[in-house]
Chains A and B, each alone.
Chain A
Amino acid sequence: MNKLGIEAVAQDKVKVELVDNGAGVMVKFVGDIDMEDPSILLDPLFEKIHSGMVSKKIPEITADFRGLNFLNSSGIKAIAKWIMKLAMLPADQKYVIKIAHNKAITWQVTSLPTLTFLVPGAVKIE
């Protein structure tokens, strides 16, 4: 079990797994997020991750999208909502989100760096 105590979830063609990663944690997305309403899966998951990161004062989390082949607009909306929660936190409670992306997948190259604009300094692209 990881630091946040969150178990892996799988639905349709996607699997989301959390593992410890040094001082932080890593949330890995594998497969395709192409379901009609991925917020049913992602919103509760991101809420757990966010509250766990704040309460346990974990300094950073890596969102690994390298294994994600497709992401629809509802999926990116859920990710943006998670990052906007980070934006509303006081400075002393903020944690860092590192986004690991696959440069061979064009949509990741063109869209994921945009997420860093939401919370400058707290969201980084790798």
Chain B
Amino acid sequence: MITRRSLVGLAGFWAVFTALGVCWLSGSFAEPRLWILGLVWGVVGWALAWFFFLRSPLAEEPVEAVSLTPSPEAEEMEEVPPALLESPAEVLQPELRRDEASLAALSGFLSESRELLKAASGGTHLQDLKVSADFIRENVQRTFEISDNLAGTAQQAFTLSEKVQNGVTVVTDALAESMRQSQVLFDQSKRIVMILEMMSDVSEKIHVLSINASIVSARAGALGRGFDVVAKEIRALAKETEHSLKNIEEVISDLQKTINDVIVVVKNADAETEQEKNSLITVAGSLQGVILGVEIIRAVSAVVKEKAEEEATLVQKLVEDEAHGLASMLDSHLADWEGRVQALNSSSFAPKE
């Protein structure tokens, strides 16, 4: 093993023996001064070698130990079976074939793994998964579109309800007007009653006067001037009666007009009510449409839910299949490789411990 110390020692020996060699070659061993000079020369050479060594890069890092003893490989080479030395081809070919078989198995394992990865990334299961995912996505989009349509329908229903409210207000006003007109009709009928009572009184007075006139006429005999007075009173009452009758005619005429107005108002109310009835039917129809639309959404959602469940099952199966396949394949190859390693360890060509 070469060490820094041995290098320095070798350099010192080289300097001393160089000096001694020079002395011997010059034949001056008999001369002590020359011999001492050669020795001093060697010591100085050794010192210079040590000095330059310390300044060199070799002194900065340790020198690796180099074993000069025979290596285990070299020792083993001595124990190579004679059969290997005599016919190496026959001995090595089975080992080479076994290595080739191992490499072929490794290549097959890699190919199988590649196919498995390819199947996992783009196989039938994942393709189905993608189709299902697309299906779900499209249906969700349609669900949103249907919801939008329903929102429009709800807006229509709201507008219709506003129209119904306005119509109901009109109907209420019309009914109030009918009530007012009816009250007028009632008041006028009371006037008619009063007039009729007055006519009754007049008629009664005429009756009394006519009786009195008859009595006076009978007493006077030839003196019938009083009868003339009574006759005049009767005529006056007749005029009064006639006047009252005219009033009755006017009241009746007003009553007819009022009744006609009521009829017109009631007709308008009836028309409004009819329109509102149609509006209410429309509102009911709209609400029924909304209900049916919601039912369509529910049907779509049910299909989406069913599809999502199928997809979840498919994914679960995919994961289980892939995991099981990979585990089986790895177990198989591990067992194979373990057998090969054991076979190599037991072969005569294996290194000895």
Contact = CB atoms under 8 A, between A and B. Distances in A.
A111 B299 contact: no
A73 B292 CA distance: 5
Nearest to B150: A114
Q: Interface on chain B toward A: helix, strand, loop, or mixed SS? A: helix
B295 A110 contact: no
Contacts of B286: 106-107, 110
Contacts of A118: 142, 296, 300
Nearest to A110: B289
Interface in A46-87: 71, 73-74, 76-77, 80-81, 84
A110 B296 contact: no
Interface residues of B, number: 25
A115 interface: yes
Given A107-B288, A107-B289, A110-B286, A115 B296 contact: yes
Contact of A84 (B149, B288, B300): B300
Interface residues of A, number: 21
Contacts of A109: 285, 289
Given A80-B300, A106-B281, A111 B146 contact: no
A117 B290 contact: no
Contact of A76 (B146, B156, B292): B292
Contact of B299 (A71, A84, A106, A120): A84
B282 interface: yes
Contacts of B145: 117
B285 A110 contact: yes
Interface string B269-312: 00000000000011011101111111110111001000000000
Nearest to A119: B142
Contact of B285 (A74, A106, A114): A106
Interface of A: 71, 73-74, 76-77, 80-81, 84, 105-111, 113-115, 117-118, 120
Given A105-B285, A111-B293, A115-B296, 8 more contacts: A74-B295, A81-B299, A106-B281, A106-B285, A109-B289, A110-B289, A110-B293, A117-B142
CB-CB nearest 4 A-B residue pairs: A106-B285, A110-B289, A111-B292, A80-B299
